[in-house]
Each structure stands twice: as C-alpha cells, then as structure tokens.
Amino acid sequence: MSVAMLKSCTTPVLRAIWRGREPQNLHPRVLFAVRQHLSILHAAVELEDLHQALGQQLEGCYDPSVPFPEDPTDAVPAASPTSPDWWRIHVGYGWYLSFYFEAGEARRVGLHCGEQARPAT
C-alpha cells in the first residue's frame, strides 16, 4: 500500500502537472523538471531524504513578515532561525517549488517563478 506524501497543491496547474496533464503555458523542459522534483518530494518520508536527494537545490526559507526579536530570550522556538518556516526546491530555469514539510508530508506545494521567497542565511 502506497501512502501519498504529496498532500496538497496551491494551484490547479500544479495539481494537473502532478496528475500527468500538460499545461499549455509551461515550457516542456520546465514541465519535465517540475515532475521530476514532485516525484522526489512525493517519495520523501523525512526531511533528510530531501536533503540527500536534492542537496543544494533545497533551501529553508523564513517569513519576512515575522521579524526576529533582538533579545534571544524572547524568541519562540518555532520562530528561531534554525527552523525554517517553509522550504523551496530550485527546479531550474528560474522556477522553484515551495512547500511546508510536516510529519513526513509535503503540504501547500506551490510552483513559482522568480525570487519571491527569501532564502535562509
């Protein structure tokens, strides 16, 4: 019995790509790369699996709307710089997949073009 680790997509286009359909407004090379990375994301059971499979293509990201407190004693563990808010995978050609990885499941997977998310430092 196979358990799907790719739980939810943020756009109908990405959902269609995952189901094998070909969107008309996406270059075939980008489409191939997105499908390949979605398969890796689907197969991952732990975050370490993604680190091993993707290496430098996987980045932890932080929400720029949540500033880090100046005093480290006031920091909430979930908002610390050591635990990213979400992750992104560089697909190539300026595209990336963003997602939340919780309890072995990729949730709210989105496909984006450009540098909209701020990478972790």
pLDDT in tens, 69-90: 555 554 444 444 556 778 999 9
What is the per-residue pLDDT for 6? 80
Provide the residue ranges of all domains of the chain, joining segments of one domain with +.
Answer: 12-67+79-112
Average pLDDT in the chain:
80
Return the biggest CA–CA distance within the chain. Answer: 51
pLDDT in tens, 31-67: 999 999 999 999 998 889 999 999 999 999 876 665 5
What is the per-residue pLDDT for 36? 95
The answer to whether residues 6 and 18 touch, using CB atoms and an 8 Å cutoff, is yes
- In this structure, which CATH number among 3.30.70.141, 3.30.2310.20, 3.30.565.10, 3.40.1640.10 belongs to the domain 12-67+79-112? 3.30.2310.20
Its pTM stands at 0.75
